Structure 1
Amino acid sequence: MSALKTLLFGFALAATSLVAPAQPTFPEKPIKLIVPYPPGSGTDTVARYTARRLETALKQPVVVENRAGGNAIIAVQAVINSPADGYTLLWAANGPVSTNVALYEKLPYDPLVDLQPVARVAYSPMGLFVPSNSRFKTATELLNETKSNPGKLNYASGSATYNIATEWLLSIAGGKATQVSYKGSAPAIADLAGGQVDFSIVELSAATPLVQAGKIRLLAVTAEKRMPNEPNTPTLQELGYKDFFQVAWWAVFAPKGTPASVRSTLEQTLLKVYSDAESKEYLDKNNFSAFLGDAAALRKFQENEIKRESLLVKEFKIPKM
C-alpha cells in the first residue's frame, strides 16, 4: 500500500470513528426488578427498599414485579427469557440461585450459566416460630414432639430454602414433621398465625410484624449468636443443635449476556447504596444485616452455597423434588 493510500485509509478510519454513534448511557429507561415471592415477604420488603434507593442513584424508575410460584422457577424463567440489557433483573434469595440446584432432580435452568452475578447486598437470620397460642413454649419442647410423635406436626415451608432448613433441623433432632408448601414466606406465616400449621422456619424480617402483633411467637433463631433485637431468644446452637446455622441472603442477578459495563454500573451502585448510613439504619431496624460482595465474590459464594446445600440434602436424606 502506497504512503498516500495509507494516509487515506487512516483518514477514512478516523472519519468513521468521528461519525460513529455514541454508546447509550445506562440506564435510559425504567428498570424492572423481578421478585420470586409474593408481597410481604422479607425478600419483597428489602427488594422494595433497594428499588427506591436505586431510583434515586440511577435517576430512573425501578419497578418491583412479583412473580411468585414454582419455588421461584417462574421468576427465574421470566428473567432469563428477557433481553440481556440490564433492564430486567432478578432479585434473588437463596432459593432460585443455590437451593433449587440442591433440591431439584431436574431444574429447567442453570443459575451458574443462565444468570450473571451483579452484587450481593444483605442477609437475615431465620427463626423457628409457632402460633401465639401454641402449647410449645420452647424449641426443645417442639422438636421433642417431632421425635416422640413423628409426622404428627406439620410445618409451613415458604420456599426450597426453608424446606432444607427445616428438614436439616428435624434430622439433627431425630424427628419428623409433615411439610406444607407455600408460594412464599408471607402466606406461610399467615397460615401459621391462623393455626393452620404447627410451626415454621422463616426469616426474621418477614415474621417481625406478626410477632409484634402477638400472632406468632419466636422460639429460637438460626444465627450463630443472639440477635440484638431479640436478646432473650436463644440460638438453636445454644440449645444443643450443633452446627445448625442458616440465613436468608439476597443478591441481584442479570440474564446471561448482559454487557459488562451495564453490570458494573449496577454492581457499583448497589454496593455504594448498601454501604451508607441510611441503609445501615434500615437494615438494623428490620432484622437485616449488610452482606456486601461484588460480582466475583457473589459467584464464588453462590458456588459454595450450592455445594453446601447439596451436601445437606445428601447427608440428611432430604427428599428431592
Structure 2
Amino acid sequence: MHAENLDRWSHSHRFETGGEGAAERRTRIVVILTFVVMIVEIAAGLAFNSMALLADGWHMATHAGALGIAAFAYSYARRHANDPRFAFGTGKVGSLAGFASAVALAMVAALLIWESATRLTSVQVIGFDEALPIAVLGLLTNLASVAILGGHGHTADHDEHGHGHHHHDHNLRGAYLHVVADALTSVTAIAALLLGKYFGWWWVDPLMGIAGGTVILVWAYGLMRQAGGTLIDMTDAGLRQEVVDAIEGDADNKVADLHLWRVGPGHWSAIVSLVTHHPRDLEHYRALLAPVHEISHLTVEVQSCQE
C-alpha cells in the first residue's frame, strides 16, 4: 500500500479551539503595556516613597514575566503543532503555561500578604499627591489589558440537544487572572493613598494588601486545580458516563476498560475497550460515540464474548 493511500485513515493531532492566534496577539499587547507601566510605577514608588505604588509596580513585574510565558506558550504550541515527538499534539502546552502562571500568582500573593503584614508595624511618609496619578495610570492600564484579553479563558458551544460545553484555555485564563489581580492591587493602592492623604489611616494600606493577596491566592488555587487536572490526565465524570451510556445503550455491549483524557481546550482523547456477544464493525461503535463531540481522538477495541 502506498503512503499516500493512508491519508484517508490518518488524522491531525492539532487539538485547538481556533482562537489561539488571536489570544497570542492580545497577550503580546498586554505584555508590552504591563512592562511599560511597571517601569513607571517602580520609578515613581522609589521617588515618592510610596510602598503601595512600589508594591504594585513589582507585582506588575512578576505578571509581565508570567504573561510573557503565556505568549511564549502560544508561539511554541503553534510552531510544534505537527511535531511527531508530541504524541497527542501540543494542546497541553497552554495548560502547562496556565499552571506555571498559577504558581507565580500564588507566590506573588504570598509575598504581598507578607509585605503587607510587616508594614503594619511602621508608618511611612508618602508623597500622596505625586503617587496618586501614577496609581490611577496603573489601574487604567490594567483595565485596558482586561478588555484586550477579552474574557476568562473559556468559550462555550452547544450540541444538537442544546447542552452547553465549556472549553477552558488555561493559558489565556492564567493571563486574564494576572491582569485582573493587577487591577485589584491598583485599586487597593489608590484606596490606600486616598485614605492616607485625607484621613491619615496609614494602616488601611497593609490591610487591603492582605485582603487582596488572599483573593489572589483563591484565584491561583482554582487555576492550579483546572490546569493541573489536565496535566495529570484527570478524567471528567460526566463525560465518562456519557461514553459508557452511548456504548452500553446498544445491544448487549459492556465497557470493559475506558481511558478518557483532555488533549487540548475542548478536545478529549478516548480509548474504549468493549465486550459483546454480537460484534459489529468499528464504524458502528464510532457512530455510537459521534454525539459525544468533545472526543477528537478515538480508539475502539472490540472483544467477542463467547460465554
Q: Which TM bucket (shorter chain)?
A: under 0.3
Question: Which one has a larger percent strand, Structure 1 or Structure 2?
Answer: 1
Which of the two has higher C-alpha Rg? 2
Structure scoring higher RCO (CA < 8 A, sep ≥ 6) equals 1
